[in-house]
Amino acid sequence: MQDNPNEQGKPRFLARDDAAPSPEGPYKGRFLHKDEPEAEDAAEAPAFQTDALDIPLSFEKTPGEDSQEAAADPEDAAEAPAFQTDALDIPLSFEEAPGEDSQEAAAEPENASYGEAPTDAGFDGLHEPPDPDYTAGISEDLPEEPEEVLPETIDDYSEIPDDVPVEDVPLTEEDADFQELFSAEPEAEDEIPVRDHPAPKGRPKRRKGEGLLGIPNILVTLVWIAIILAIGVTLGRMIWVCAADVLAFGREDHKVTITISSTDDIDDIAQKLKSANLIRYPGLFKLYASFAVDEGEIQPGIWDLNTLYDYHALVNMMSPSSHRSVVTIMIPEGSSCRQIFELLQEKRVCTVEALESYAATGDLGDHWFLDGLTRGDKYCLEGYLFPDTYEFYTNDTAENVLNKMLNNFDSRVDESIRGQLDSLNGYLVQLMTNNGRDSEYISSHMLSMADVITVASLIEKESASAEESYTIASVIYNRLYAWGSTPAYLNIDAAVIYGLDGKTDLTQADLQTDTPYNTYLHTGLTPGPITNPGLNSIKAALAPQNTKYYYYILDPAVGTHHFSSTLEEHEAFREAIRG
């Protein structure tokens, strides 16, 4: 019976689930709170199973309700009001094991009441307090569950029920070995004798805030900053100074001419540029040249430069491709190699050094007049650089310049001129025969074409005009071949001057200076030509005038020479012009 007819009754099996806690722990409802057993333990489950709950739960008593429940509580069944849980639509199905209905019917109390509100202070207001008689009947009628015995060792912890305390869980073999190893007492180690060490010697530890040698760290930092700033300023200044030299900053406008010879290397070129105030730092120019200048880009020559030129412009202006203008040069007859080389350098054609070097050792081609010529001397081409008017490229090579002049000599002194050599030797044979020379002497004193060029060079220097060249040639041959028993001294001042490297103001001491070209001290011809004769002098040497002259002296009144056959006549005329 319900004391409060307005209070909805609870199902009996729900009330039984709220039983008082058992001595072993809180009681779990048999239907709602009992965990569903595992699949393999389903065969051992006691009394009942909850299969698929697929019917609505209803507690309204109808005339056809289960007979077992009516027999267990006939009075309460008649007084209990109609009650149904419409809100619970969870289908339930109960499969009862054999004998379960009899246990539940025997444990049913006679006067179950669902209407009184609980007065226990610990009741939560959601369930009715458990009936002591009811719970006692359940505990007596429920079968005892078998005590689970855990294996000593396990392989899978999932086999252990949830309500087993952790300390009761058996260990695996690996865990048992680890626990045995972990709980084992460490072996006693031999004590290592401790030796007292003396206090370390040396400087004490630096105090905090101090650096090396006890200098405060802030001071060290300031010193480093000062050093870095000094280095930065110094490097910046060096970079600016170098850039100013490379780019020619801050220079005045001055034109400068320098000469680069074929023997100059990059060190010599840098020094010449510095001497001309074109650069300030030769080492920097050499560094620039090592990266930016190709080999052979700076050529020997005479270069007109400017102090406003930077490094790049200086290199370009010293390259042949920068200046290829043509210059016309007239080389006078009677010019020596030294004079010709200086003239070519003056006209920006080639340097003296390049010309001298190539004349001594360069490849001069195959020329007939060079056969038997001794090379190695810078003036060894004396007599064969034909004087004429030429056109040269400025800053040309010595090879081009010298070969052009030698080719001109070869073409001008042709076969028609060289053919006169035989007639000249015939004339000389007659002179020597008239002078009483034997055939052996005569054959050893025949002239070659090289000798003729030497005679022509003497004629070139001594003649005052083209007409008297043939007469002077006759004087030279008369002194050489018709002087008597011994050749006479030629006494030609021009040869002495040549031996003295072009000195013009001769003194009596100069006439006594012993050189191979001093015709006052050595008889016969000079070792070689003393100049580069013109074509007229060469012709005069090949076809001298037949005279009896042995002396000549310049007559200043007419600008030509006066010729004499005897010494007395010669001295008388000398006294006459001196007055």
Average pLDDT, the chain: 75
| φ, ψ at 371 (rounded to 5°) | -65, 125
Helix (H) or strand (E) run with residue 494 in it: helix 493-499
Count the neighbouring beta carbons within 10 Å of the beta carbon of residue 315.
20
- 544 contact partners, CB below 8 Å, separation of at least 6: 424, 427, 470, 473, 474, 476, 477
Q: Are 526 and 328 in contact (CB under 8 A)?
A: no
Report the C-alpha gap between 324 and 311 in whole angstroms.
21
The length of the chain, given as a count of residues: 579
Count the neighbouring beta carbons within 10 Å of the beta carbon of residue 462.
23
pLDDT at residue 324 tops 90: no
Q: Pick the more confident residue, 499 or 486.
A: 499
pLDDT computed for residue 394 by the predictor: 86
Report the C-alpha gap between 408 and 259 in whole angstroms.
27
Judged by DSSP in three states, 302 sits in strand
Report the C-alpha gap between 362 and 398 in whole angstroms.
9
pLDDT at residue 186 tops 70: no
- 331 contact partners, CB below 8 Å, separation of at least 6: 340, 343, 385, 387, 388, 389, 390, 405, 532
What pLDDT band is residue 33 in, cutting at 50, 70 and 90? Answer: very low
Mean pLDDT on 463-490: 90
Report the C-alpha gap between 30 and 50 in whole angstroms.
10
Mean pLDDT on 546-558: 92
Q: What is the CA radius of gyration of the chain?
A: 70
Which of 174-188, 369-383, 410-424, 467-481 has the lowest average pLDDT? 174-188
Q: Pick the more confident residue, 435 or 121.
A: 435
Q: Pick the more confident residue, 481 or 214.
A: 481
Q: Tell me the H-state helices in 204-336.
A: 217-246, 266-275, 282-292, 311-317
Beta strands in 27-112 (DSSP E): 48-50, 94-96
pLDDT computed for residue 245 by the predictor: 86
pLDDT computed for residue 391 by the predictor: 92
pLDDT computed for residue 351 by the predictor: 86
pLDDT computed for residue 197 by the predictor: 60
Report the C-alpha gap between 27 and 17 in whole angstroms.
8
Per-residue pLDDT of 332-362, as tens digits, reads 999 999 999 999 998 988 888 889 999 999 9
Q: Are 552 and 469 in contact (CB under 8 A)?
A: no
Mean pLDDT on 248-260: 84
Judge residue 436's burial from the number of C-beta atoms within 10 Å of its C-beta, 0-12 exposed, 13-18 middle, 19 or more buried.
Answer: exposed
pLDDT at residue 438 tops 80: yes
pLDDT at residue 6 tops 60: no
pLDDT computed for residue 51 by the predictor: 45
Q: What is the 3-state secondary structure (H, E, C) of 115-134?
A: CCCCCCCCCCCCCCCCCHHH
- Give the CA count within 13 Å in the CB-facing half-sphere of 548: 6
Task: State the sign of the Cα–Cα–Cα–Cα dihedral 247, 252, 256, 261.
Answer: negative
What pLDDT band is residue 50 in, cutting at 50, 70 and 90? Answer: very low
Per-residue pLDDT of 171-185, as tens digits, reads 677 777 777 776 766
Q: Are 533 and 459 in contact (CB under 8 A)?
A: yes
Return the percentage of the chain with pLDDT > 70, whole number. Answer: 63
Model-level pTM?
A: 0.55
Per-residue pLDDT of 134-152, as tens digits, reads 555 554 555 555 555 555 5
pLDDT computed for residue 471 by the predictor: 96
pLDDT computed for residue 147 by the predictor: 57
Report the C-alpha gap between 443 and 299 in whole angstroms.
51
The residues facing 392 across adjacent strands are: 327
